[in-house]
Amino acid sequence: MAKLTWPHHEAQRLFKQVGGTKESVIFETGYGPSGLPHIGTFAEVARTTFVINAFKRAYPDVATRLIVFSDDLDGLRSLPDNVPNHDLLRPHLGEPLSSIPDPFGQEASFSAFMNRQLQNFLDYYGFTYEFYSSTLTYRSGRFDEGLRRIMDCYEPIRDLFTATISPDKRQEWSPFFPICAACGKIYTTRVTAIDKLNYTLSYRCDQSDGKYQPCGHVATTPITGGAVKVGWKVDWALRWFVLGVDYEMYGKDLIDSYAMSQKICALLGGKPPAGYKYELFLDENGAKISKKIGNGISMEQWQAYAPLGALLHFLLANPNKARQMGMPILPKIVDDYLKALRTEARDDEYGTLWFIDQLQHHHDASGLRNSEIGYALLVNVAENLGLHEGAVLFEYASRHDPSVLENEPFFRELCVKVVAYVQDYQAKLPQQSLDIDIRYAPYLRDLRQAVQALTDRGEFEANNLQNAVFTVSRCYGLVQSEWFKFLYQALIGKDKGSRMGTFLAVLGAERVLAMLDGAIARFLPLVASFQAEALEPILANAESISADENVHVYPIVGAMQIDPDGVWQIKTKALITDLLEQPLLLEGPDRESAEPIDAQVEKERIYQQASTLLSACLTGLQRAIGPLLRASE
């Protein structure tokens, strides 16, 4: 990661705004507990903490506070996909989240459960913060003076807000949302009159959009003491005004809300906080992460599958760039962090590790500069070996890399998390549909021989194994990327994976040789079947271009004959290999006695026949390969 500057810039900007006028600088983050907290919720707390730490570094004599505010007096507008007991919740749609039963049956209310989940996560990782419940803040009277100021500024606020909404909604708009004293709903009430002198309002419970059922109750209520809540944009300004907030981040989707709340805060007589806009998090499919949908990664999943340091490293990247996070890309997120542990200095305040260590109060691992152990690699190993215990995976990793033992607590925990990830997520994925190019199958035998030779010589090591894979590719002029893709498909059932040599080294010689034997047994018969069933007519027509009785040229894309009686491949420069960069199949008693055909000599004689056969082969190849591969799975 490049030099990290944004937290420091934010700290400097904030100090210029507050100057030396306050004994304590107050930071705030907001959270709506309408569904299970996700990483986006945690991210705002973490990023705000990065700015706090940069602020403390630059201005150590200025105190700081962090308020985490839960909007739990908001009503439940719809049923979240990621919570149970919808039948229990459905009658409570439109009621405040703090008045709805907990669908998990563990806390006093819906919001109490969600709030506890967030607090557990923040406490687990040692964040320093003050938790505020909207319900308790309203009911305790903490907001009463601010609510009176809103009533005093009723017309200016109303004029400011209604200018931004459609004309048909302006007449009945009010900043106040009374909570019906009869049915308890907040989104079914309508303000019918206000009494600015006594700070009361009258309302009727008669609003419905199909989701909530009003009860028709009519009443007059004071605006204080929690009987009334203000709408979201006014509520944000109210918090800033009453709590004296100096700094708050907000998502890209709240740009207009932030601007409106700034103006309302100023009308109340307060000083709006410094704000910082960040881009939204997206799941692996590019969709916005939502608490109600439950996409992305939940906080419980992160605790189970990955270290905190990796999440903090991910969050330290430029917040003004949209970032994807989801279970499929979790290994890459962790591996990016491990790369930072290998390459970055810990004491550089413009590096990611300094910020991570400030929050964690410790360093995850040291001395990893030459380490190749990564999360994706461990996932591949755990999957391949069918491991169910982190301790066993740790033994494989530590046997290969001494730095693992030097950082034993970190890597033991990482291995436990990897095994949990594989068992809970990877193992439940539908089997990936692979488009396997079996033209590369015969070269598995060469790789197997190379691995056996390294084993026999006591040279079964990551770099040697990586070189062996490359050597086979170079020897036969294979397309390197396609060759590696085929190996991943044949050995681990995926299109790509961790560094091949390291992966094989961690598995060990016995396991790797068995894997190669299995792949050879599976794929080579496919090649033979492919020739026999799909290309027999084409090969029969190719007899006329044989050079002599013992040498046959098959000018066919990817045609490979598997024959234990001596048919083998030699890369040569005959006409067809000039065109297609494919090896010729030559038949002879042994490697020494067989000779490749001179392309120039044969060119005039076989050119027309080869062109015709090539076209026919391409069609036959497409028709034959799909059914054969599907039948073998």
- pLDDT digit string, tens, across residues 489-523: 999 888 888 999 999 999 999 999 999 999 999 88
Distance CA 200, CA 225 (A): 11
pLDDT (tens digit, 9 = 90+) per residue, 311-326? Answer: 999 999 999 988 888 8
- Beta strands 24-31 and 228-230: pairing type? unpaired
Mean pLDDT of 42-59: 95
Amino acid at residue number 628: L
Cα separation, 477 vs 261, in Å, equals: 65
Residue recorded with tokens 């009463």: 144
Choose between 301 and 621: higher pLDDT.
Answer: 301
* pLDDT value, residue 292: 56
Please check the confidence at residue 381 and state whether its pLDDT lies above 90: yes
- pLDDT tens string 436-464: 888 888 899 999 999 999 999 999 999 99
Using DSSP's 3-state secondary structure scheme, residue 67 falls into: strand
CATH class of residue range 438-531:
mainly alpha
Judged against a pLDDT cut of 50, whether residue 597 lies above it is answered with no
Instruction: Give the pLDDT of residue 208.
Output: 87
- Say if strands 218-222 and 200-205 run parallel, antiparallel, or are unpaired: antiparallel
Q: What is the pTM of this model?
A: 0.77
Q: Which two tokens stand for residue 421?
A: 């990830």
Pairing mode, strands 274-278 and 247-251: parallel
Give the whole-angstrom CA distance, residue 203 versus residue 147.
17
Residue 586: its H or E element:
strand 584-587
Q: At a CB cut-off of 8 Å and minimum separation 6, what does 445 contact?
A: 520, 524
The 8 Å CB, 24+ separation contacts for 56-64 are 57/8, 57/11, 57/349, 58/8, 58/11, 58/12, 58/15, 59/11, 59/15, 62/15, 62/22, 62/24, 62/25, 63/23, 63/24, 63/25, 64/24, 64/25, 64/26, 64/27
- Closest-CA residue to 332 (of 294, 376, 299): 376
Helices (H), 133-252: 134-139, 144-152, 154-162, 167-170, 232-243
Query: What is the average pLDDT across 201-223?
Result: 94
CATH for 6-144+232-280 is: 3.40.50.620
Residues pairing with 324 in the sheet:
282
Helix (H, G, I), strand (E, B) or coil at 69: strand
Helix (H) or strand (E) holding 131: strand 130-133
Q: Determine the angle formed by the axes of helices 509-534 and 480-492, rounding to 10 degrees.
A: 110
Give the percent of the chain with pLDDT over 70. Answer: 81
Rg, the chain, Cα only: 34
**pLDDT value of position 608:** 41
Q: Of all helices (H) and strands (E), which one includes residue 261?
A: helix 255-267
* pLDDT tops 60 at residue 482: yes
> Which residue type occupies 239?
R
Non-local CB neighbours of 376 within 8 Å, separated by 6+ positions: 331, 332, 335, 497, 498
Q: Which two tokens stand for residue 10?
A: 């934010």
Parse the chain into domains and list their residue ranges.
6-144+232-280, 176-230, 438-531, 535-632
